[in-house]
Amino acid sequence: MPTSGERIRQLRILKNLSQQELSRDLGYKTYTTVSKWESNASLPPGKELKKLANYFEVSTDYLLGLDNYDSKYLVNEIQNTVEVNFIESLNAGYLYTNGSNDDKIVPTIEVPNHVLTEDPDKYFVIKVRTDSMNRIINSGDNIIVLDYNKIDHPIHNTGDIIIVNINGEYKLEHLRMTDSTAHLEPFSYLDGFETITYSKEEFNNLEILGKVIYAFRIFN
């Protein structure tokens, strides 16, 4: 299991924050305390652990590396579910929907209602078939995606995990924005995945299928 230091560092990087910026947001004058946490030289005390969990919107167990899933919600909230469309996989520029087509009913899957901020028909679930984000999303996990084809004027922010069409192939990427560029970055323990940089104009011309809002795994 990941250590608490690895979890804090991963969450900080996903928010595109430096240690100094996170320290400032938490009320510290220097980055020394955060640096010690990330290097596992010390553990956040109880009060600071709760502050970190609220800041990153995860559970304290997730921060401590005791839980692989970051939900901080109660069991009765998780059991309140809705159905959204389920896509088996993305491959070579196609959407594969378990053999479904326009003449068949697209399969659905139940997801926790509390993670949705839009109507359920504006989301779909897809099974991950890549290790490009395996520091936080593993191959085999299911991800809930906000469908940008059903959203007026979607907004792109640093820290978003998006599905984007690159040269005819849909990829799962971490987005980092600057004033003039957009960087599509892997977040993987494995080598072989590279950052791709676009100008803002080039990025705006890409087909972006949607933004990941939640990940989960079903155990049979």
Nearest one of 208, 87, 202, 106 to 150, comparing CA atoms: 208
Structure tokens at 134: 């395996």
Report percent pLDDT > 90 for the chain.
39
Residue 112 lies in a domain: yes
- Domain of 91, CATH number, reads 2.10.109.10
Domain membership of residue 155 as a residue range = 80-216
Q: Which pLDDT score, from 0 to 100, does residue 180 have?
A: 95
Give the Cα separation of 116 and 62 in Å (integer). Answer: 21
* Number of structural domains found in the chain: 2
- Domain of 19, CATH number, reads 1.10.260.40
Q: Which pLDDT score, from 0 to 100, does residue 40 have?
A: 86
Q: Which residues of the chain have pLDDT under 50?
A: 73-78, 92-94, 97, 99-101
- Contact status, residue 187 vs residue 175, Cβ threshold 8 Å: no
DSSP three-state, residue 190: coil
Structure tokens at 153: 């004027």
